[in-house]
Structure 1
Amino acid sequence: MQDYKLLAALDAILKTQSFDKAAKQLHISQSAISQRIKLLESHHGQALLIRSHPIKATTLGQKLLGHYQRVLQLESELEVQLKNTKQRQSLPLAVNADSLATWFVSALAPLLQAQQVALNLFVEDESRTWERLSNGEVLACVTSKQKPMSGGESHFLGFMEYVCVATPKFIDRYFSQGFNQVSFQQAPAIIFDQHDDIHLKFLADNFSLQAGQYPCHTVRSSQAFVDLTLADGAYSLNAKLQIEEHLKSGQLVNIMPDQIFYVPLYWQCWQLSGRLISELTDNIIAYCQQVLAQTTNIN
């Protein structure tokens, strides 16, 4: 049996990244919260926190946090049922920026309209949202990882399609001599962050260029990606869903029309996370079957 006061202490420390802040959040002393962690680690016979910067959970600590999140969700649902109230339920989720900017909110809409929900969204690259789930910080995530974690389940959503675009003015300035290694060495690109490898792969596969061999903006916003491209500041790989109107109007031009870059997306969640996550899972799968490519044109 777990002592959930002790797990609450573990959860608070990781969320606040401070023993002192966690103690204040739980309205106890710093010595008391330290004692709770010692008791929890003594009960399990091993360390549950890596006291580093940032503070991290050990593998067992992550499993306990995942369990704690599910228990909180189930208790919240039970309280609503027993009291027959419309208490707002917390829903921590992790999603990649491009999904958030395109289809994710629409997929959530039926649940938001029918339920009292307080979203807590963690926005990461699609290769890293999974870490939020494995760390026990969220109940579900959109990720590019297919394999479910122990105690979790994975559902294929579809492929996010990316196309390489620029404005006509940018093309005249940087690609007047064609789309080749020399022109791509001069033309500014955009990446989301250091974990964004789709652009690296595009230039390496097509023009034998490596990171550092071309100018590049780092912009941690999907909308800013589009805005900077529209401002003639760069060419970029953008989610096709997000720029379809700009392509139709001619504001943006697909400069590599023979290439579409496909990123598979999966919905991963903990098993036995409660009715709310089950309903959300059904909504997201159904919506993505309508808006995301379910197969690729790659032979």
Structure 2
Amino acid sequence: MKGLDYKWLEALNEVMAQQGFEPAAEKLFISQSAVSQRIKQLEKYVAQPVLVREQPLRLTPVGKKLIGLYRKVCVLEEELLPELKNEPVTTPVTLSIAANADALATWLLPSLSGVMKSGKVELDINILTEFRAAEKLKNGEVSGAISQEKDPMPGCVSEYLGRIDYLCVASPAFIQLYLTEGVTAQSLMKVPAVRFDQYDTMYKEFLMTHFGAFDGNNVCHTVRSSEAFVRLALEGMAYCLIPQIQIEKELADGRLIDITPGKTYSYPIYWHHWQLESGVLRDVTQAITGFTRSHLPQ
């Protein structure tokens, strides 16, 4: 955008990061009125608001796009300037990515181990549902995101990573207490289950897919932690759908049992990232794709 002053975008970014004009001013070493003036100049330039001035402060749709542009420029600049000046890279590049909790609990960190140990990148990992992760990438708030969506978003590339297989598991004590007469749709719809949040319909979809019905009135706990799902199952508090790669040891030693053998809940996952990659984002992409293609079912 010709004529766009990146000091305006810097001010907008800090106002959102600090959730206030005064702390943003302190961060930028300018006055609060100067921050306000920069935001007003930006809004005048785009002829519409970029902020919803409520608590908490929120970006408007155009504000999200402008923040996305600013962060892309920052990532590219952090890598390009040392090269242009023929100077060694002394500070890591800050990179934001989005993933769901299951990815973080299983394969994501091992895949990024080498990149993180290199000292070249400072990762900001946003833990979000896959729908929200895709939205963050679309708005430019993150550089890459894990998603079930195959088709790339505008300006992005989508790369297939593999398949995640969920098993329906419970502890021997849970089976003895609740499922002595067998595992059926009727029995599963009467016993305690667990979901990640109010948008998580995985176990209902599992029952619909493999048993053809869901009309239960059972207790369904809401627990926003993949690791806690495993603990709930081990303690006999609920039956759970858990990624197979997360519980291979527990299955092998009998602490968890696949209560619906041959019936899984599976979906493919994709790594979406900016089409214009910086060196660090390229390293992250290669690390993720290389690891998952050798560790996840294809």
TM-score (norm 2): 0.91
Give the structure 1 partner of residue 270 of structure 2: 266
Unaligned runs of 5+ in 2: none
Compute the displacement of 1:190 (Å).
Answer: 1.2
Compute the displacement of 1:196 (Å).
Answer: 1.8
Q: Distance in 1 between matches of 2:65 and 2:94?
A: 20
CA contact (8 A) 1:73 1:273 kept: no
Give the structure 1 partner of residue 204 of structure 2: 200
Given residue 222 of structure 2, which amino acid in structure 1 is its aligned partner? T
Give the structure 2 partner of residue 12 of structure 1: 14
Q: Deviations over 1:71-90 (max 9, x none)?
A: 11111112343321332221
1:82-101 matches, within 5 Å, as 82=85, 83-101=87-105
CA contact (8 A) 2:21 2:35 kept: yes
Name the CA shift for 1:80/1:161 in 2 (closer, same or farther; >3 Å): farther
Farther off after superposition, 75-84 or 262-271: 75-84
Give the structure 1 partner of residue 164 of structure 2: 160
Give the structure 1 partner of residue 135 of structure 2: 131
Q: Look up the SS of the partner of 2:68 in the other structure.
A: helix
CA contact (8 A) 1:6 1:36 kept: yes
Compute the displacement of 1:56 (Å).
Answer: 3.0
Name the CA shift for 1:55/1:137 in 2 (closer, same or farther; >3 Å): same
Structure 2 residue 78 is matched with structure 1 residue 64: no
Q: Deviations over 1:163-186 (max 9, x none)?
A: 100011101111112222432233
Structure 2 residue 192 is matched with structure 1 residue 188: yes
Give the structure 1 partner of residue 233 of structure 2: 229
Q: Distance in 2 between matches of 1:254 and 1:162?
A: 10
Give the structure 2 partner of residue 209 of structure 1: 214
Unaligned runs of 5+ in 1: 295-299
Q: Distance in 2 between matches of 1:41 and 1:277?
A: 31
CA contact (8 A) 2:145 2:272 kept: yes
Q: Distance in 2 between matches of 1:52 and 1:153?
A: 35
Given residue 61 of structure 1, which amino acid in structure 2 is its aligned partner? G
Note the aligned Cα RMSD (angstroms).
1.9
Q: Deviations over 1:33-91 (max 9, x none)?
A: 22211111111122222334543323322222221111111111123433213322212
Match of 1:281 among 274, 281, 285: 285
Give the structure 2 partner of residue 297 of structure 1: none
Q: Deviations over 1:246-290 (max 9, x none)?
A: 111111100111211112211111221411111211221111111
Compute the displacement of 1:108 (Å).
Answer: 0.7
Given residue 95 of structure 1, which amino acid in structure 2 is its aligned partner? A
Q: Look up the SS of the partner of 1:127 in the other structure.
A: helix
Q: Distance in 2 between matches of 1:47 and 1:153?
A: 30
CA contact (8 A) 1:90 1:118 kept: yes
Structure 2 residue 251 is matched with structure 1 residue 257: no
Compute the displacement of 1:127 (Å).
Answer: 2.6
Name the CA shift for 1:15/1:121 in 2 (closer, same or farther; >3 Å): same
Q: Distance in 2 between matches of 1:38 and 1:273?
A: 32
Q: Distance in 1 between matches of 2:212 and 2:21?
A: 50
Q: Deviations over 1:190-218 (max 9, x none)?
A: 111122221231234436225x7221111
Name the CA shift for 1:56/1:148 in 2 (closer, same or farther; >3 Å): farther
Compute the displacement of 1:238 (Å).
Answer: 0.1
Farther off after superposition, 43-52 or 67-76: 43-52
Compute the displacement of 1:158 (Å).
Answer: 1.3
Structure 2 residue 103 is matched with structure 1 residue 104: no
Name the CA shift for 1:147/1:65 in 2 (closer, same or farther; >3 Å): farther
Name the CA shift for 1:60/1:147 in 2 (closer, same or farther; >3 Å): farther
Given residue 5 of structure 1, which amino acid in structure 2 is its aligned partner? K
CA contact (8 A) 1:107 1:284 kept: yes
Q: Look up the SS of the partner of 2:189 in the other structure.
A: helix
Given residue 292 of structure 1, which amino acid in structure 2 is its aligned partner? L
Name the CA shift for 1:263/1:19 in 2 (closer, same or farther; >3 Å): farther
